[in-house]
Chains A and B, each alone.
Chain A
């Protein structure tokens, strides 16, 4: 309670940013899975109807996507039609914010125990690769390098996604500035 009074704006901004980022990522995940062969190859192994969730503990923002077959993802917003198969759970809003604002790489965040994986680990590993691919796709190279362990050398941006990248960048930089202030 005390913390809320001291830093209302910072926390509010983080919350908004994480929610927005989840929405951007959810939509981008669906879009990328429609055009990128690499993502499709990874996703094809997942069972049809497979539900993947990223969430902030305890009851914070959520991102849910479903593998609808053929390596395609469908974005469900923040509510799942049934129990999810794999859930990646950030222990705190701050940790989600650090990862989603590219101050901490996803792989480092795992190494730092910032999040828990619930469900089949091999699917979680696969989804992490998909997310890495996604991040390097929709982010400008300079930011993507901070987000993933290694920047893939076989990345060719389809026209469709270049605009997404620009929107993403605007959102990201804006929020990093306001949230840090």
Chain B
């Protein structure tokens, strides 16, 4: 089964001609269920690609296939031209170049915030503890949590935990960041602090693949929107096109289900500009 969506041309953000991450007709089955039924799209260097679509449409599965946490049944995922699922590919080496952020944070509860961020560099990169701690501290300051370094994750709010999780992924100095609904488990008040960290990251040129229901973020920060349904890409294009004039009825239904009716939103206070040089989010508390 090979349903290929026509990929509209798009402006290149980075200078590299080849996409950093590309999905070519990727299929993944769970038993008789086609979680991914021929997914094709590309992520260029420096782009923020937002994946949207209803629950169960295969977005999380796709991210897990991207860094080989899940195997695929057919098709190809290429990272920098390397076949992620090829048996000769060193999956661990690839994974550390793709940072991953999860819906429910998945911080390591038995480690302090600092150790959560430093544990990747010390165990995977065999970095000396002092160097890893210094790098971790720097990243924690960047996400505005320098003062929480000695705490355990349980003592942090959801938004703070998610910012630690972002710092933990950044500590591996990845080329691509994969976000799986990073704000879905958060209280409305703390969503903004995570989104603003992500926006700063995008502004710095990080390549990002973001599964999200935050249409406002997708529209403002995303360079490319990919709409999923039933394991397929039903539509993709630049945000203006997908949000303002979706070509597919399914996209329209999904967007209106989320309360989006095609009109541009007024400036939202969701994405508070952060002080320069820091991802720190200005909060009132």
Q: Are these two chains actual partners, yes or no?
A: no
